[in-house]
Structures are given as C-alpha cells and as structure tokens.
Amino acid sequence: MNTKMGVHNPERGFTLLELMISMALGLLIMATMASLFKAGMNSAILIEQRADTQANLRAGIDLMVRDLSLAGAGVPSGGIQLPTGTGNSGLSKYGCDQSGTCHVVSHTYPANGASTNYLYGIIPGYLNGVEGGATVPAAPAGINDSITVAYCDYNFAASNGLPALSQYNAQFTNVNGSTMTLTPKAGDTPPAINGAGGIQVGDLIMASGGSVTGVVGEVTNISWNSGSSTGTLTFANGDPLNINQSAETSSGSLAYLASTVGVGVNVSVTRLYVVTYYLSVPGGYQTPRLMRQVNGLTPVPVADDIINLQFAYDTYNSTTAALDANQANPIGVGESPNNIQKINLVIMGQSIDNYGNKSQNMYLATDVSARNMSFTNRYD
C-alpha cells in the first residue's frame, strides 16, 4: 500500500535584514514628515509674528505720520517765543504731565539764536527717546530718538463747522493774563468749552491780539456756566509746564499780551497741540512701547513692543542754499528746526509672541513732508 506523504511548503517570511531596512525607511519617512511639519509650523509662526508686528508698527506709524504732517500748522512763521524765565525761574517744558513727571530726559525748549525757550513746529530729540534714559533691549546701537511737534487744533469744531473757540469772545480779566473769560459771539451757540473733546486742564492755548502774535498759556482751571454758556480759563503760575509766568515782562507771555491789548479787549485764541513721541520701558517684565504725550496731559501708549525709534531730517541750509539730507541732529550741527523740510522716520518692532524665545524684529520706514513749516524757495 502506497502512502503519499504531504509536502510541507511553509510561507517565506521577512529576514532580519529586510525588517531592519523597512524600519529604517519608516523612521526616515517619519523624520521627514516631522521635519516638514516643524517647518510648516515655523513658517506659520513666522507669518503670524510678522503680521502682528507689522500691524502693530503700522498703528504707531500712522498716528505719528498724522501728527508729523501737521507740524507747524497755524503756528506763527518761525515759531513762538515762550517766557525766558526772567520774571519767574526756569524755562518752559514739554513732554510733562500734571503730576510733574517729565517723560523725556531733555524736556526744556531749545534756543533760537540768542533767544532761549523757543517753541518750533518741530523739535528733534536726538538720543532723547527713552523715558528715564532706560535701556531698551535689542535696540540697535542703543540709538533711540524722540520728536515733538506743535500745531493748532482745527478739529475742535462746532455744528456750523467753525472752530468752537472762534465762536467766543475771549478777553483777559486782569493785566497779568492769569484769567480769561469766554462769551459766545452774537448769533453763535457754541458747545461747552470743556465738553467731550474740549479744553482740559493741562491744555495749551495760543492767543494773539493787537501787534502781538502767538503767546502761549497752560490751562490750570476751567469754570463753565452752562446757563449763560460762558466760561473762564485760568492760567496760574506754577503750572507743570512752567509756561504761565505772570511776572514775565518779555513778549513771550500771556502777561505781556494782556498788558499790551488791555483788559476787556477781544483776543484771538485757539488750542495748541504740542505732541511728543518717545519710548517707555515699563516695569514688571513688560515690553517697550511707543508713547504719545500731548500738552500737559497724561501720555498714552499707541503701540506695544516697539524697541527702536529713529528720525533724520532734510533741512534747508541757509548758508549754502542747499538741502542737507538725513541730518540726525540738526540742532546739534547748528541748523534751525525752522528749516526742516522733511522728516525721515524708522521704527522697529519686536513680535509680541516669542514662541520659546523666537522673537522676530521688523523695520518700517517712511518720510513725511513738513508742508506747514517755513517755505524756502531754493531755486531763487
């Protein structure tokens, strides 16, 4: 009897070498996928950081451009002489608030030739851009500037489109110029001077009358009678900006204007904005920020994570009749701020999110024509 034995044909498996190769290929594919995923995440983070930083920079630069473009608007040609400190001690200040805190290191007005304490439409602040002289981490070469611009407020408008203050008869009540009454002109129904967007304590008022143009006082008190729509502005001595110097006998004070035109005589008044931009480094591990300070009011932040602010100026040289471009410190080289024709601005921001200390820095640069400054025809 023949018995057929079954043939055993086992299925062939993977060899150890094949398993090792396949595992190596799998690991390589997984590493490639992880690398691609990481690259994608880094790209997404980079895009997010750049978008946030750019939006932050543009918010700050747009506001600065608005103020810089108005520099000198409504200000007398050549600027304004402020009290020289002969009647009361000390020069006038800018960049300071009602608490007496001054937010830039150098905060007294510069000279104009032999005249001290002069308010220009533009006041460059070379290397004067950080509150308290603090150090801003990552600022290139430690360079940070401030800038101060002055212009008249044409937005303080009433329902008929006229500036509200022009709808009042403004008169001094005493010869030292420390108080001024405002009464509505015939036929006008202006809003309250201290209403929304109106005059505040710390605001600057520019007044003119007779042969005297452009003297400035800081409002220290506002009294308003809603029944008669009349008000009184007080310009007391000892104001935080040291502008109200009633004993000053020179042409740069409200006292001089009041004594010249007399009590009870109408004078022209408008609100003056003196705006300073600078950087502040708050405590408590907060990042540097761009600040905007107006007149004698409390400064407000306009953009966070700003680490560098630099200005250069295209200035008309009255000696050579040429344009000196990109002057970082025009006052320091003997050029007058009155001859500034253009402001070149560079601002640098750092990304708000660092994602494990991977911050991104970005610059934005622009230039602004100072169209309201003194015009000089270089082609004569």
Greatest mean pLDDT among 134-148, 174-188, 230-244, 363-377 lies in 230-244
Total length of the chain: 380
| Better-predicted residue by pLDDT, 152 or 162 | 152
Point out the least confidently predicted range of 154-158, 213-217, 240-244, 328-332. Answer: 154-158
Span 235-256, pLDDT tens digits = 999 999 999 988 887 778 899 9
Q: How far is CA 178 from the centre of its chain?
A: 30
Is residue 187 classed as helix, strand or coil in its secondary structure?
A: coil
Point out the least confidently predicted range of 291-305, 327-341, 345-359. 345-359
Q: Residue 159 pLDDT more than 50?
A: no
| DSSP count for the chain of H helices, then E strands | 2, 17
Q: DSSP readout, 52-109?
A: HHHHHHHHHHHHHHHHHHTTTTTSPTT-EEPP-SSSSSS--BSSB-TTS-BSSS--B-
Q: What angle do CA 368, 369, 373 make, to 5 degrees?
A: 130
Say yes or no to pLDDT of 84 above 90: no
Residue 190: pLDDT above 80?
no
Using only C-alpha atoms, the chain has a radius of gyration, in whole angstroms, of 32
Rounded Cα distance between 214 and 81, Å, is 8
Predicted confidence at residue 162, as pLDDT, reads 56
> Which residues have CB under 8 Å from 267's CB, separation 6+?
170, 171, 172, 180, 207, 208, 209, 257, 261
Query: In the predicted model, what is the mean pLDDT of residues 34-55?
Result: 72
Local confidence band at 157 (pLDDT 50, 70, 90 cut-offs): low
The single residue listed with the structure tokens 């801003």 is 136
**Nearest CA to 303 among 351, 342, 343?**
351
pLDDT the model gives residue 279: 95
DSSP letter, residue 339:
G
Q: Please report which confidence band the pLDDT of residue 53 belongs to, taking 50, 70 and 90 as the band edges.
A: confident
Between 358 and 314, the higher pLDDT residue: 314
The per-residue pLDDT for range 258-307, each reduced to its tens digit, is 999 999 999 999 999 999 999 999 876 678 899 999 999 999 999 988 88
Q: What is the distance between the alpha carbons of residues 336 and 330, in angstroms, rounded to a whole number?
A: 7
Over residues 87-104, the mean pLDDT reads 88
Residues 190 and 229: their CA atoms lie apart, in Å, by 8
Q: Pairing state of beta strands 212-218 and 306-317?
A: unpaired
206-225: pLDDT as tens digits? 999 988 888 999 999 999 88
Average pLDDT, the chain: 85
Got the DSSP string for 120-144?
-SEEEETT--BGGG---TT-GGG--
Predicted pLDDT at 192? 80
Residue 198 clears pLDDT 80, i.e. is over it: yes
Domain-wise residue ranges, the chain? 81-306
Q: Which two tokens stand for residue 113?
A: 């030739």
pLDDT tops 70 at residue 338: yes
112 vs 12, which has greater pLDDT? 112
Q: For residues 195-208, give the mean pLDDT.
A: 90
Does 155 have pLDDT greater than 70? Answer: no
pLDDT band at 234 (very low <50, low <70, confident <90, very high): very high
Mean pLDDT of 134-162: 77
pLDDT for 16-36, tens place per residue? 787 888 888 888 888 888 887
